[in-house]
Amino acid sequence: MKYTTLLVTGLLAGVLFPGTFQASLFAQDNPEALALLEKVDNNQSSQSRIFESSMTIHGRRSDRTLTSKSWSKGEDSALTEYLSPASEAGTKMLKLGDNLWIYTPAADRTIQISGHMLRQSVMGSDLSYEDFMDDRKLTELYHAGTLVQDTLRDTRVMVVELIAKVNDVAYPRQKMWVDAQKYVPLRQEMYARSGQLLKRIDLYDVKRIHNRWFPTRMVYKDMLKTGGGTEFRIESIVFDADIPAYLLSKAGLR
């Protein structure tokens, strides 16, 4: 009788206040899912890192590849310098906390990007500035919900649903397919609050680097854009490296 009453109340609440019901479902983390998420965070987070990458944007008319070098420290500071093609070489993006600046030698100007501009595509790719900026741990941003076993690309995975527990997050809901042995996401689907699928990331080529598993190839697909997606490759990466302080300051932009 007690369970029936609870079920009816829950369903009623779900119908009348769907968001509340959903939030209440995830108000507390599923302990198993949370443990999984912590392991994912351990693989992805570091004190600092320096990496070189290439980004291939599969447009409707042609493909375009950009290479860059990035330095990041903790969750708040990161600098990316584009190395090629020639038209983009020397362009730098600096993130300090919630602020983002871009320096371009073509105009010799440092421009701050803020507000709705942060949701715009970077270089015509399927990544937004917000995607580039948010480097916080998953456990800080999301409640971990239901956990289901599945298989993806012949790999045993755990599928976990994530609901945002903070407001300043680009995607209020996520669904993540995590390698059950290496604790690395192999696929992520990002949803709007309405439930619309906004972005999908498929992660490949998981390698053992400095005692952690790390995916070195990611294919981003903005589901609201036409085009063939954006392929992001980590060419080389060093974790917990020393980064000079000036590099992650506005002085480092020029």
- Closest Cα partner for 89 from 103, 100, 72? 103
Which residue of 46, 91, 128, 174 would you call a contact of another protein, by CB under 8 A? 91
The alpha carbon of residue 48 and the mean position of all alpha carbons in its chain are separated, in whole angstroms, by 17
Q: Which is nearer to another protein, 43 or 125 (CB)?
A: 125
Q: Is 228 in the site for another protein (CB under 8 A)?
A: no
CB 125 within 8 A of CB 114: no
Which residue of 10, 19, 124, 195 would you call a contact of another protein, by CB under 8 A? 124
Could you tell me the smallest distance in angstroms from the CB atom of residue 253 to another protein? 11
CB 61 within 8 A of CB 73: no
CB 183 within 8 A of CB 45: no
Q: Is 107 in the site for another protein (CB under 8 A)?
A: yes
Could you tell me the smallest distance in angstroms from the CB atom of residue 64 to another protein? 5
Question: What's the token pair of residue 86?
Answer: 């020639």
**What is the b/e burial string over 87-123, where b = at least 16 CB atoms within 10 angstroms of the residue's CB?**
ebeebbbbbeeeebbbbeeeeeeeeebeeeebeeebe
Q: Which is nearer to another protein, 61 or 208 (CB)?
A: 61
Which residue of 22, 48, 70, 121 would you call a contact of another protein, by CB under 8 A? 121
Q: Is 86 in the site for another protein (CB under 8 A)?
A: no
Instruction: From 33-41, 57-65, 73-81, 199-207, give the range in contact with another protein by CB under 8 A.
Output: 57-65
DSSP 159-213: EEEEEESSSS-S-SEEEEEEETTT--EEEEEEE-TTS-EEEEEEEEEEEEETTEE
Q: Which is nearer to another protein, 2 or 61 (CB)?
A: 61
Which residue of 23, 39, 56, 64 would you call a contact of another protein, by CB under 8 A? 64
Could you tell me the smallest distance in angstroms from the CB atom of residue 153 to another protein? 29
Q: Is 110 in the site for another protein (CB under 8 A)?
A: yes
Task: Spell out the residues 6+ positions from residue 132 whose beta carbon is closer than 8 angstroms to its own.
Answer: 78, 80, 93, 95, 100, 122
Question: What's the token pair of residue 179?
Answer: 């390698």
Which residue of 117, 148, 224, 251 would you call a contact of another protein, by CB under 8 A? 117
Q: Is 56 in the site for another protein (CB under 8 A)?
A: no
Q: Is 62 in the site for another protein (CB under 8 A)?
A: yes
Site residues (vs another protein, CB under 8 A): 57, 59-62, 64, 66, 87-88, 91, 102, 104, 106-112, 117, 121, 123-125
